[in-house]
Amino acid sequence: MTTDDRAKAVAPFGFTPRQARFLALVMRHAGVCLLRQYATFAGIVQGQKTRAFFHKLVSHRHAISYACRHNRAKLYHVHHFALYRAIDEPNSAYRRPIPANRVAERLMMLDGVLTDPGLDWLASRAEKAAYFTNGRCSVPPEMLPRLNAAAAPRTDHAFPDKFPIGIATDGRPVFLYVVLPTVRDNFRAFLRRHATLFQTLPSWTLRVVLPRALADAYEGVQAVVRDEFESPLYPHTVDELKWYFEQRRRIGSTQFYPSDERFIRAADAFDAPRFDSLYQRWVRDGDSALEDVSSTAISDALTAGTGAVEFLVLPHRYDHLSPLVDSLNSRACGAEKGAENSHEQGDEWPTPSRPLLHWSPADPTCPQPA
């Protein structure tokens, strides 16, 4: 089903086309939402129409509302089985009770999707693999991102990351990556997993989304992009790197630290997070981990404009949006009349997102967000 198909399936429950499309996005990417998110999506005042929509959701038992910390917002969980069945996802994990420590992540993900709701967003592994291996893409299964590059190229192992991928009307994919404070898997690993796919596609966009609280991580994220996408290694450097990795692994098993000049030079040259991450991958996957580090395909795509990296800082706060209860058995409440966020109190109109900050090899000093 496409986004339009899902919206048409939800509309018969008594929703306008705009409301149905919003609900389809919520059920696919978060399960939870806020009043301000619908107001921003619809481009309307956060007023009576918005409250009436959410009151309808709660009163018809399509959703349940939760009070959040300090009574500064209400969180809405869309859980109705018939709605999820209508979009062909009756067993979606988003119908389940909301773990309090996952609420902010879900809302950030939804905000990332809502920055461009016109895209056809792919959420599951199966639909991502189907899109890239069939139709206009026709990418071989071994080119799809996997946790273990040396494993058999099965499509059901592809796309281990849960970040959605948006497809534009011209077929250009937009890969969303949301920098989350609770996620330990790093951005560098995400880029490595997707590098082979990016080298294969005729065009692509990587959109990196940061919540306002993590805006100071922008420089570090941009440095990783330059490392992985704009600094291919020369073949002789790769040969030296393999030799150094072999010595490093031998040290780990013998506890003997070489003192020869070649090892000292290599240890100094490869003393960086990029090579530490490569070493861990090399230990797991062997020399296949170094097959693409000399490729200029991605840097050439960025130069030509067929590849693009965008940065977006979400202007909202999320720290106060954990629900006071962790069970769906709490009493449903009506839509609140107050503000969603502390910085929006007294502000009738929804706060727009900041414009995208574009990064390119021609201008590596992208302006740092305030």
Q: Does residue 362 sit within a domain?
A: no
234 burial class (0-12, 13-18, 19+ CB within 10 angstroms)?
exposed
- Is the pLDDT at 115 greater than 60? The verdict is yes
- Indicate if 178 and 299 belong to the same structural domain: yes
- Indicate if 127 and 215 belong to the same structural domain: yes
- Indicate if 131 and 194 belong to the same structural domain: yes
236, two tokens: 């002789």
256, two tokens: 């003997």
Q: Does residue 114 sit within a domain?
A: no
* pLDDT recorded at residue 30: 95
- Is the pLDDT at 347 greater than 60? The verdict is no
Pair 227, 274: CB distance under 8 Å? yes
Q: Does residue 173 sit within a domain?
A: yes
Rounded distance between C-alpha atoms, residue 107 and residue 176, angstroms: 14
Most confident of 40-54, 136-150, 331-345, 349-363: 40-54
Q: What is the percent of the chain where pLDDT is above 70?
A: 81
- Indicate if 177 and 202 belong to the same structural domain: yes
Q: Does residue 359 sit within a domain?
A: no
- Indicate if 304 and 278 belong to the same structural domain: no
Q: Does residue 360 sit within a domain?
A: no
pTM of the complete model: 0.81
Pair 291, 184: CB distance under 8 Å? no
- Indicate if 13 and 68 belong to the same structural domain: yes
- Is the pLDDT at 337 greater than 90? The verdict is no
- Indicate if 207 and 305 belong to the same structural domain: yes
- Indicate if 186 and 298 belong to the same structural domain: yes
Residue 13's contacts (CB-CB under 8 Å, 6 or more residues apart) are 20, 60, 62, 82, 83, 86
* pLDDT recorded at residue 357: 44
* pLDDT recorded at residue 149: 66
**Four-residue CA torsion sign, 23, 29, 31, 37:** negative
**Residue 368 Cα to chain centre, angstroms:** 20
Domain that holds residue 344: 3-100+321-350
Q: Beta-carbon neighbour count of residue 337 at 10 Å?
A: 9
- Indicate if 19 and 85 belong to the same structural domain: yes
Most confident of 131-135, 195-199, 356-360: 195-199
* pLDDT recorded at residue 93: 92
Q: Rounded mean pLDDT of 75-102?
A: 92
Q: Please give the tally of structural domains in the chain.
A: 3
Residue listed under structure tokens 């994990």: 93
* pLDDT recorded at residue 291: 81
- Indicate if 184 and 305 belong to the same structural domain: yes
27, two tokens: 């059920």
Ranking 174-188, 205-219, 294-308, 313-327 by mean pLDDT, the lowest is 313-327
Q: Does residue 126 sit within a domain?
A: yes
Q: Does residue 110 sit within a domain?
A: no
- Is the pLDDT at 351 greater than 50? The verdict is no
Q: Does residue 355 sit within a domain?
A: no
Pair 32, 78: CB distance under 8 Å? yes
Q: What is the percent of the chain where pLDDT is above 90?
A: 51
- Indicate if 338 and 206 belong to the same structural domain: no
Question: Confidence band (pLDDT; 50, 70, 90) for 345?
Answer: very low
Rounded distance between C-alpha atoms, residue 152 and residue 132, angstroms: 17
CATH assignment at residue 335: 1.10.10
Residues in the chain: 370
Question: Confidence band (pLDDT; 50, 70, 90) for 111?
Answer: very high
- Indicate if 91 and 202 belong to the same structural domain: no
Rounded distance between C-alpha atoms, residue 187 and residue 181, angstroms: 12
